[in-house]
C-alpha cells in the first residue's frame, strides 16, 4: 500500500509540472532552490554609503550575518524590533544629469507648486515610498518584504530607510516601525502607489488589525502625472515595440528624462524569487541588489517629482516637448488658472504643428476651443474647432465633436442654417456612430428651414451644389461663408 507521502507526491506531480512551466516562461533561468542567482554587486547605486552597523555579537555567528551582508541592523522602535537598512546620499553625489543637492534645492523651491499638481497642498517633508513584494498577484499571500522610505534631509542629503522583513513572523513589528517612520512625513510620494503599493500594504495592516499608517497622509502618485507629461504617441510605442506602459515606466523615464543608466540592475520579475531563496536558505546575499534597486527607484522617483514640479513652476516656455506644454495646460486648467492654461495650450498647439504631432495638436486645439467657449468667445471657439478639422489625421471622435460644436454654432449663434445642416449631415455620414441626437438636430434644422422660406431656397441651391459629397469640402464651404 502506498504511503500518504507517495500519494501526495502523485497528486502534486501534475501541479508542479504546470507550475514549473509557468515560472520558466516568466523568468528564463529563474532561481530555483539550490541554484543561487549570481550575486550582482556592481556600483549599482554608486556614491551611496551604507554604514556598516556595529552589530553587537558580530563574529559569534558562523552563518552569513544579515547585518554584515545587507548593511543594516535590528532597530528598536518603541516596543517592536525591526531590521532596517539606512543609507545616505550626500549633496555632491550625482544622479543622471543632476546631483542630489540640486534635486533637494529644486524640490524645495518648487514645492509651492504642489497644489497645482495634486489639487491639495502637501506638507514637507515628502516621503518617497516604494515596496518590494513577493509577487504581483495580490491577496493575503502576497506581502511586502521590503518597505523603502526616503526623504531629503535639511542639509540636502537623501536618506533612505529600508524596512526589511527577515521573517514573516516579524511583519507586525515591521508595520509598526513603518508607521513610526511615516508619522514624520508630511506627504507620501509614490510611483503607481495608488494602485499597487498602498492597497497592498494597507491590506497587511488590516491583516494585523493595525491602522494603515498612511491613511492621514496626502498621497501624490507620480505615475499618472508622468503619463500626462511623457506618454508616447501610440504609433511611436508600436514602432519601438515598447511595453504597454507607453514608455512611462520608472526605468524608461530615468533613462530618457533624468539621464541615468543603471548598471547590473536586478530585473523586477526576479525579485520575489530572490526573496524566497533568502527565506529558504537564510543567505541574504541575493537581496543585496534588490535593496540597491529599491534605493535607486526611490531616488529616481524623487528626481522625477522635482522635474515635474519645476516644469509647473517655470511654465510652458521651458517645455521641451509639445506634450509637456499640453500637460501643463491641463495642470493649470484643473487648478482654475484659465488664462495660464490657454497660453500653455497655444504653445502646445504651435510646438505640435512644428513637429507634426497630430494627437497633441488636436488635443490642444480642442482644449482651446472649450476654454474659449467657456469665456464666451464663440467666434474664437469656432475658429479653433475649424483648425481641429484642419489637422490631418485628426482622430474621428474629436472631428465629430468639432463638427457637432460647429453645427451648434451656426444654428444658434450665426443663424446660418444651411451651414449648420451641412456640418450636422457630415456627422451623419460618419457612419454607425451617428446617433439619435444628430438625426434630431438635422430634423430640427430642417423644420426651421421650412418655416423660413427664403432659407429654403438657399438650401436647394446648396444641396445641389454639395450633392454626392461624402465629407465637407472645406474651401468651397469657406467661400460660401
Partner 1 sequence: MADLPTGEPASLVARSRRDGALDEALQRLAPGSSPGRPDTPDMHVTALRRLPPVPAQYAPFPEQIDRRLRDALAARGITQLYTHQAQSIDHALARRNVVVITPTASGKTLCYNAPVLHTILQDSSSRALYLFPTKALAQDQLVELQTMCETLAAPVPGSGQGGSGDQIGVFTYDGDTPQDARRSIRARAHLVLSNPDMLHSGILPHHPRWAKLFENLRFVVIDELHAYRGVFGSHLCNVLRRLRRVCRHYGSDPVFICSSATIANPRELAERLAERPFELVAESGAPRGEKFFVFVNPPIVNHQLGIRRSYLGETRRIAAEFLKRHLQLIVFAQSRLSTEILTTYLKDDFEAEPGAPERIRGYRGGYLPNRRREIEKGLREGAVRAVVSTNALELGIDIGALDVSVMAGYPGTIAATWQRAGRAGRRASRSAAVMVASSAPLDQFIVRNPSYFFDASPERALIDPDNLHILVDHIKCAAFEMPFSTTEAFGRHDLQEILGLLAEQGLVHRTGPAEDLDAPACESQWVWTNESYPADAVSLRSISSDNFVIVDTTRETRVIGETDFTSGPGTLHPKAIYIVEGRLYQVERLDFEGRKAFVREIDCDYYTTAITYPRVTVLDTFAEDGRRAHGEVHVVSRVVGFKKIKFYTNENVGSGELDLPEQQMHTTSYWLTVPVAIMAMLPYAADDRRDGVVGLAYAIRQVAQLLLMCDAHDIGISIDMETTAEEIAFPRKEAASGEKSRSGRSAHSVASWSTSSTKSPRIFIYDNYPGGIGFSAPLSRMHEELLSRTRRLISECECEHGCPGCVGPIGDTGPMAKAAALRILDLLMTPPLTADTADQTEAKLEHAG
Q: What DSSP letter does each residue of 432-477 carry, written as one string? A: TT--HHHHHHHHHHHHHHHHSHHHHHHHHHHHHHHTT-SS--HHHH
Burial class (CB in 10 A: 0-12, 13-18, 19+), 467: exposed
- 272 vs 418, which CB is nearer to partner 1? 272
Burial class (CB in 10 A: 0-12, 13-18, 19+), 69: middle
Residues 64 and 133: their CA atoms lie apart, in Å, by: 23
Residues 84 and 146: their CA atoms lie apart, in Å, by: 9
- Identify the H or E element spanning 19: helix 4-26
- 142 vs 383, which CB is nearer to partner 1? 142
Contact yes or no for 254/240 (Cβ under 8 A)? no
| Interacting residue ranges for partner 1, rule: CB under 8 A | 1-2, 4-5, 7-12, 15-16, 18-19, 22-23, 32-33, 55-57, 60-61, 63, 65-67, 73-74, 81, 83, 134-142, 166-170, 173, 203-204, 206-207, 209, 272-273, 276, 279-280, 282
- 22 vs 457, which CB is nearer to partner 1? 22
| Cell representation of residue 360 | 497633441
- Identify the H or E element spanning 7: helix 4-26
- 193 vs 322, which CB is nearer to partner 1? 193
- 96 vs 135, which CB is nearer to partner 1? 135
- 10 vs 396, which CB is nearer to partner 1? 10
Q: Among candidates 106, 40, 16, 9, which has minimal Cα distance to 313?
A: 106
Residues 203 and 72: their CA atoms lie apart, in Å, by: 26
Amino acid at each position: 500500500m502506498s504511503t500518504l507521502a507517495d500519494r501526495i507526491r502523485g497528486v502534486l506531480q501534475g501541479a508542479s509540472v504546470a507550475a514549473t512551466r509557468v515560472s520558466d516562461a516568466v523568468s528564463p533561468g529563474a532561481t530555483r532552490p539550490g541554484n543561487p542567482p549570481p550575486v550582482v554587486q556592481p556600483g549599482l547605486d554608486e556614491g551611496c554609503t551604507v554604514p556598516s552597523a556595529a552589530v553587537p555579537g558580530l563574529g559569534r555567528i558562523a552563518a552569513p550575518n544579515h547585518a554584515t551582508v545587507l548593511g543594516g541592523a535590528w532597530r528598536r522602535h518603541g516596543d517592536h524590533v525591526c531590521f532596517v537598512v539606512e543609507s545616505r546620499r550626500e549633496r555632491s553625489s550625482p544622479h543622471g544629469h543632476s546631483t542630489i543637492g540640486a534635486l533637494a534645492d529644486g524640490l524645495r523651491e518648487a514645492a509651492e507648486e504642489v497644489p497645482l499638481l495634486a489639487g491639495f497642498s502637501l506638507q514637507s517633508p515628502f516621503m518617497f515610498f516604494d515596496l518590494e513584494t513577493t509577487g504581483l498577484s495580490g491577496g493575503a499571500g502576497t506581502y511586502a518584504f521590503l518597505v523603502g522610505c526616503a526623504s531629503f534631509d535639511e542639509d540636502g542629503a537623501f536618506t533612505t530607510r529600508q524596512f526589511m522583513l527577515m521573517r514573516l513572523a516579524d511583519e507586525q513589528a515591521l508595520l509598526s516601525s513603518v508607521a513610526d517612520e511615516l508619522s514624520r512625513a508630511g506627504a507620501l510620494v509614490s510611483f503607481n502607489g495608488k494602485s499597487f503599493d498602498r492597497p497592498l500594504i494597507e491590506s497587511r495592516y488590516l491583516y494585523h488589525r493595525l491602522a494603515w499608517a498612511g491613511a492621514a497622509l496626502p498621497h501624490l502618485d507620480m505615475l499618472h502625472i508622468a503619463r500626462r507629461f511623457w506618454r508616447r504617441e501610440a504609433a511611436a510605442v508600436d514602432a519601438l515595440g515598447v511595453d504597454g506602459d507607453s514608455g512611462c515606466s520608472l526605468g524608461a523615464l530615468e533613462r530618457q528624462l533624468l539621464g541615468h543608466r543603471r548598471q547590473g540592475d536586478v530585473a523586477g520579475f526576479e525579485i520575489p524569487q530572490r526573496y524566497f531563496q533568502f527565506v529558504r536558505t537564510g543567505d541574504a546575499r541575493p537581496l543585496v541588489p534588490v535593496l540597491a534597486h529599491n534605493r535607486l527607484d526611490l531616488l529616481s522617483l524623487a528626481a522625477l517629482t522635482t522635474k515635474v514640479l519645476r516644469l509647473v513652476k517655470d511654465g510652458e516656455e521651458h517645455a521641451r516637448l509639445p506634450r509637456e506644454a499640453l500637460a501643463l495646460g491641463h495642470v493649470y486648467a484643473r487648478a482654475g488658472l484659465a488664462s495660464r492654461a490657454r497660453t500653455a495650450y497655444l504653445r502646445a498647439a504651435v510646438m505640435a504643428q512644428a513637429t507634426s504631432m497630430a494627437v497633441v495638436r488636436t488635443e490642444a486645439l480642442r482644449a482651446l476651443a472649450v476654454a474659449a467657449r467657456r469665456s464666451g468667445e464663440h467666434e474664437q471657439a469656432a475658429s479653433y474647432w475649424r483648425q481641429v478639422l484642419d489637422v490631418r489625421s485628426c482622430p474621428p471622435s474629436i472631428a465629430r465633436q468639432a463638427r457637432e460644436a460647429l453645427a451648434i454654432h451656426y444654428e444658434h449663434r450665426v443663424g446660418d442654417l444651411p451651414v449648420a445642416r451641412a456640418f450636422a449631415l457630415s456627422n451623419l455620414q460618419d457612419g454607425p456612430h451617428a446617433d439619435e441626437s444628430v438625426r434630431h438636430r438635422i430634423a430640427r434644422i430642417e423644420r426651421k428651414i421650412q418655416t423660413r422660406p427664403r432659407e429654403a431656397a438657399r438650401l436647394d441651391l446648396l444641396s445641389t451644389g454639395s450633392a454626392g459629397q461624402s465629407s465637407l469640402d472645406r474651401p468651397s464651404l469657406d467661400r460660401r461663408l
